[in-house]
């Protein structure tokens, strides 16, 4: 084992204000009500900043600003002009990448290695990619001159705060819509920094509006009568509520919800590579990933060998300070999420699965959960059925490819899956049979702005990313 010296990234590069207002019509405005909330650093429980909780009247103000900008400016601009703004935003994100990565790690708890090397490059790539589409919409396969929808109401979760913002805002703007976006209540800071970036890019006022708050603010936004499009990423439970309230209103809806992905390892797979893929599949971002490979399906003949190698690898993971560049596992995003992970893990033990974690010191303050593996898991166990959204892997075995398919598809979700095998024909056969929006072969959790992403069944509907992602923001 190596001895590691601490290698902390400095937080001096970020400038967090003690208190934030709302970003409406290109300006910081005080909320009409006086309700406020606080966001903490989940690694220390330190309060980072206070932010406004937008009321129905605040949401109304933001939607009006977006409507006005849509009608008077944004929808009138030729695509090549909209592209210039998006390219400018993408470049500013690259220039400020280090600052944004530190801010994301502070507010969310994710390791700086991930926010710096995964989140931020993907955020910039999304803006670059959709900037490229803005003047080519007539060639996207939706008719010669597809029209935007109008005002988009966008509600995002806390697991990839700035990346989910990019997934929502970049295609919306490229297509000529204006937006009101609500970040999650535990991670508003990078969205508020993005508001500054819109000003820096001279984006016309009202094209992007950011309102902060919790569920009630999100509800006011998606139910506002003057929005034309609702885009939501988050829990299936809230997705269901939104689908119900939007039904019959004529608003176009996309939902990106939960998952319980199978990561399937066949006996001919390259085992060391598969171990890395399993680790990346479920321990990346503390398992706060909707497409996480939370169910490992391993062929019975190699189960013992694979699990021994996996446990050896997990014993080398470093848990702790998210700003330390050597950290693999950061903090759990909130006390509520930690309670949920604990509850489901306890249920796993009670239902008879065997629980294992490497010995790893847990910091005294903050929200932490060690990497955890359950073996002897039955398909009926809660830890095999419910989304845990934490660093917890449930291991099941199979004997034949048909059994692997059956078990993988035995879930109400269908967001992603992984297949590890040497055989190309088996990869194609599996990809055809798996009811999942994304199927990775000999890799996992790989994202690319050119590739569509979205679910089957209770994982939601609609696609984000790629050419497909344009459809959600065009009147087609």
Give the binding range for Mg ion (CB under 5 A) out of 38-46, 88-96, 97-105, 116-124: 38-46
* Minimum CB distance to ligand NAD, residue 219 (Å): 4
Give yes or no for residue 263 binding Mg ion (CB under 5 A): no
Establish if 367 lies at the interface with ligand NAD (CB under 6 A): no
Q: Which is nearer to ligand NAD, 237 or 406 (CB)?
A: 237
Touching ligand NAD, residues 123-182 (CB under 6 A)? 155-159, 182
b/e sequence 185-194, b meaning 16+ C-beta within 10 Å: bbbbbbbbbb
Residue 182: count other Cβ atoms within 10 Å of its Cβ: 28
Structure tokens at 419: 């297949």
Which secondary-structure segment (H or E) carries 227?
A: none
Token pair in block for residue 434: 């798996």
- The yes or no reply on residue 109 touching ligand NAD (CB under 6 A) is no
**Position among 66, 165, 290, 396 found at the interface with ligand NAD (CB under 6 A):** 290
Residue nearer to ligand NAD on the CB measure, 245 or 410: 245
Of Mg ion, ligand NAD, none, which one does residue 159 interact with (CB within 5 to 8 Å by kind)? ligand NAD
d(Cα 327, Cα 23) in Å, to the nearest integer?
34
Residue 39 is a binding residue for Mg ion (CB under 5 A): yes
Return the range that interacts with Mg ion (CB under 5 A); candidates 10-18, 80-88, 185-193, 235-243: 185-193
For ligand NAD, which residue of 148, 234, 293, 465 counts as binding (CB under 6 A)?
234
Residue 257 sits in the site that holds ligand NAD (CB under 6 A): yes
Among the listed residues 55, 186, 228, 263, the single contact to Mg ion using CB under 5 A: 186
Count of residues binding ligand NAD (CB under 6 A)?
Answer: 27
Q: Out of 175, 198, 290, 291, which one is annotated catalytic?
A: 290
131 is written with which tokens? 């900037």
Residues 146 and 408: their CA atoms lie apart, in Å, by: 38
Q: Are strands 208-210 and 178-182 parallel, antiparallel or unpaired?
A: parallel
Instruction: Name the DSSP class of 115.
Output: I
Burial of 224 (0-12, 13-18, 19+ CB in 10 A): buried
CB of 329 closer than 8 Å to CB of 111? yes
Active site residue 349: no
- Decide: 60 and 174 in contact? Cβ < 8 Å: no
- Let me know if 71 is a catalytic residue: no
- Give the span between the Cα atoms of 222 and 237, in whole angstroms: 15
d(CA 32, CA 64): 15
Which residues bind to ligand NAD, rule: CB under 6 A? 155-159, 182, 184-185, 214-215, 218-219, 222, 233-235, 238, 241-242, 256-258, 290, 337, 340, 387, 389
- List residues near Mg ion by CB under 5 A: 39, 107, 186
């Amino acid at each position: 084992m190596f001895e590691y010296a601490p290698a902390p990234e400095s937080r001096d590069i970020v400038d967090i204000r003690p208190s934030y207002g709302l970003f409406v019509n290109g300006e910081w405005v005080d909320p009409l009500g006086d309700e406020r909330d606080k966001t903490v650093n989940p690694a220390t429980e330190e309060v980072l900043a206070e932010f406004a909780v937008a009321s129905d009247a605040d949401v109304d103000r933001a939607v009006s600003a977006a409507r006005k900008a849509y009608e008077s400016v944004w929808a009138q601009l030729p695509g090549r002009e909209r592209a210039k703004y998006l390219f400018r935003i993408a470049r500013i994100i690259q220039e400020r990448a280090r600052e944004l990565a530190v801010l994301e790690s502070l507010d969310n708890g994710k390791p700086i290695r991930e926010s710096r090397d995964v989140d931020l490059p993907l955020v910039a790539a999304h803006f670059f990619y959709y900037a490229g589409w803005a003047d080519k919409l007539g060639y996207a396969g939706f008719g010669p001159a597809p029209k935007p929808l109008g005002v988009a109401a966008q509600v995002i979760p806390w697991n990839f705060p700035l990346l989910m913002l990019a997934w929502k805002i970049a295609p919306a703007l490229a297509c000529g819509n204006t937006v009101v976006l609500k970040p999650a209540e535990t991670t508003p800071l990078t969205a508020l920094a993005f508001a500054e970036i819109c000003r820096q890019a001279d984006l016309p006022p009202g094209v992007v509006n950011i309102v902060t708050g919790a569920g009630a603010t999100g509800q006011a936004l998606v139910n506002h009568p003057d929005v034309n499009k609702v885009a939501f990423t988050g829990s299936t439970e809230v997705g269901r509520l939104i689908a119900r309230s939007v039904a019959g209103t004529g608003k176009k809806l996309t939902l990106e919800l939960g998952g319980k992905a199978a990561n399937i390892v066949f006996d001919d797979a390259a085992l060391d590579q598969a171990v890395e893929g399993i680790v990346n599949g479920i321990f990346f971002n503390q398992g706060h990933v909707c497409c996480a490979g939370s169910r490992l399906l391993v062929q019975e003949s190699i189960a013992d060998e694979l699990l021994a190698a996996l446990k050896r690898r997990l014993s080398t993971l470093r848990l702790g300070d998210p700003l330390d560049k050597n950290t693999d596992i950061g903090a759990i995003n909130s006390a509520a999420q930690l309670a949920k992970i604990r509850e489901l893990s306890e249920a796993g033990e009670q239902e008879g699965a065997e629980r294992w974690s490497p010995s790893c010191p847990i910091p005294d303050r903050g929200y932490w959960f060690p990497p955890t593996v359950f073996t002897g898991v039955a398909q009926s166990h809660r830890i095999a059925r419910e989304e845990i959204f934490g660093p917890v892997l449930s291991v099941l075995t199979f004997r034949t490819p048909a059994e692997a398919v059956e078990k993988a598809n035995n879930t109400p979700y269908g967001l992603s899956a992984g297949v590890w095998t040497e055989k190309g024909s088996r990869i194609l056969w599996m990809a055809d049979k798996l009811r999942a929006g994304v199927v990775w072969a000999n890799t996992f959790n790989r994202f690319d702005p050119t590739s569509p992403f979205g679910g089957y069944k209770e994982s939601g509907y609609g696609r984000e990313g790629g050419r497909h992602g344009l459809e959600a923001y065009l009147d087609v």
